[in-house]
């Protein structure tokens, strides 16, 4: 069963790559009752969210394949002992390009220039002597919070344009790709130093009890009035009201926000970030490229093939007893 609206656009490549005579159920437009009714006969569920009661009802389920890196929408405790849970990634390069684009747009004040020109006003330093110059990225200091797939890809692009990179991560002793040359890597206890020493701060950590609200008033004040914040992690990693006040009052220079505190159909925040001229707002789409989802579809299909053949799966976050023989359903 495929229950993911974005991946459903890659349904045909997913089906053609997967091996065996699987019967695919594209359930992204089904209502909850229809999904619940079909789940007892499903062996593979592809999506991001699965209710606990549905998980208990899926007696034949062998694999839950999450479309993405986070599996907080899957009730692990409700799954049977034979169910494997796997994830997929491939979003790092796309999100890193978005981060670089955002840093450039904020550094050159593209949003204000665009709005002014649409209104018929030429807004540049040639016609306005009081307008500040934009700045290049080369030679500036970037701090990356978190150093998983997204963080390392951001560092790679930042290095390429001449930014000096420093990092805080949960385990500062973990291996670093040989092509990356950060100024330093520290544990989360070095966050205050990273904030104080960075012109651009990029948040890439997953949301957890330890990261929720980790960027608050004191951290934003430590960044300084010329600094920029780019959040491509989760909205609640940054304290909502503290960030709004810091942007409104000039405690920091600007922010690019791709993640929020609310989701559709609600407004992204209860606060009027949309009224601030120093905020770049995007609807959690930094990883939404053909490259990301084509690669995810291919990897998910390959994992289903491995399950079919009784081979080890990749990106397993919860191992189950897959049994002793291949099955035909999907």
Query: What pLDDT, in 10s, does the model give residues 123-136?
Result: 999 999 999 999 99
Q: How confident is the model at residue 290 (pLDDT cuts 50, 70, 90)?
A: very high
| Rg of the chain taking only CA atoms, in angstroms | 22
Q: Residues 57, 120: one domain?
A: no
**Domain with 17 in it: what CATH number?**
3.40.50.720
169, 174, 177, 180: CA torsion to nearest 10:
40
Strands 200-203 and 228-231: parallel
Q: Residues 293, 176: one domain?
A: no
Q: How confident is the model at residue 19 (pLDDT cuts 50, 70, 90)?
A: low
On the question of pLDDT at 112 being above 50, the answer is yes
On the question of pLDDT at 22 being above 90, the answer is no
Residue 254 is predicted with a pLDDT of 98
Task: Say how many domains are in the chain.
Answer: 2
Which residues neighbour 164 within 8 Å (Cβ) at sequence distance 6 or greater?
A: 139, 140, 141, 142, 183
Choose among 273, 234, 236, 267: nearest CA to 255. 273
Which residues neighbour 18 within 8 Å (Cβ) at sequence distance 6 or greater?
A: 301, 304, 305, 330
91/84 Cα distance (integer angstroms): 22
44/63 Cα distance (integer angstroms): 5
Domain span including residue 71: 2-90+289-318
Residue 185 near residue 166 (C-beta atoms within 8 A): yes
The percentage of the chain sitting over the pLDDT mark of 90, rounded to a whole number, equals 90
Q: How confident is the model at residue 20 (pLDDT cuts 50, 70, 90)?
A: low
Q: Residues 117, 32: one domain?
A: no
Q: Residues 74, 129: one domain?
A: no
On the question of pLDDT at 207 being above 60, the answer is yes
DSSP-based helix, strand, coil % in the chain, nearest 5: 35, 15, 50
């Amino acid at each position: 069963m495929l229950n993911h609206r974005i991946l459903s656009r890659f349904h045909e490549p997913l089906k053609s790559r997967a091996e065996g005579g699987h019967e695919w159920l594209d359930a992204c437009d089904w209502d909850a009752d229809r999904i619940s009714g079909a789940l007892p006969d499903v062996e593979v569920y592809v999506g991001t969210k699965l209710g606990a009661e549905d998980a208990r009802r899926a007696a034949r389920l062998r694999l839950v394949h999450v479309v993405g890196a986070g599996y907080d929408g899957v009730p692990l405790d409700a799954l049977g002992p034979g169910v494997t849970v796997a994830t997929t990634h491939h979003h790092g390069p796309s999100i890193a390009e978005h981060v670089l684009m955002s840093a450039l747009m904020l550094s050159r004040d593209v949003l204000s220039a665009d709005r002014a020109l649409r209104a018929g006003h030429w807004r540049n330093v040639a016609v306005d002597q009081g307008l500040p110059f934009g700045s290049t990225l080369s030679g500036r200091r970037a701090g990356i919070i978190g150093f998983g797939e997204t963080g390392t890809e951001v560092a790679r692009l930042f290095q390429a344009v001449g930014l000096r990179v420093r990092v805080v991560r949960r385990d500062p002793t973990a291996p670093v790709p040989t092509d990356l040359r950060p100024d330093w890597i520290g544990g989360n206890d070095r966050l205050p130093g990273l904030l104080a020493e960075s012109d651009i701060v990029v948040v890439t950590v997953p949301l957890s009890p330890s990261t929720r609200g980790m960027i608050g008033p004191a951290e934003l004040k430590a960044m300084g009035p010329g600094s920029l914040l780019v959040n491509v992690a989760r909205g609640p990693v940054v304290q909502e009201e503290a960030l709004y006040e810091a942007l409104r009052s000039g405690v920091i220079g600007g922010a690019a926000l791709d993640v929020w505190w609310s989701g559709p159909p609600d407004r992204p925040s209860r606060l009027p970030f949309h009224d601030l001229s120093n905020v770049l707002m995007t609807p959690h789409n930094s990883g939404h490229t053909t490259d990301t989802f084509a690669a995810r579809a291919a990897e998910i299909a390959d994992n289903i093939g491995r399950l079919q053949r009784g081979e080890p799966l990749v990106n397993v976050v919860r191992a189950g007893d897959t049994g002793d023989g291949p099955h035909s359903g999907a």
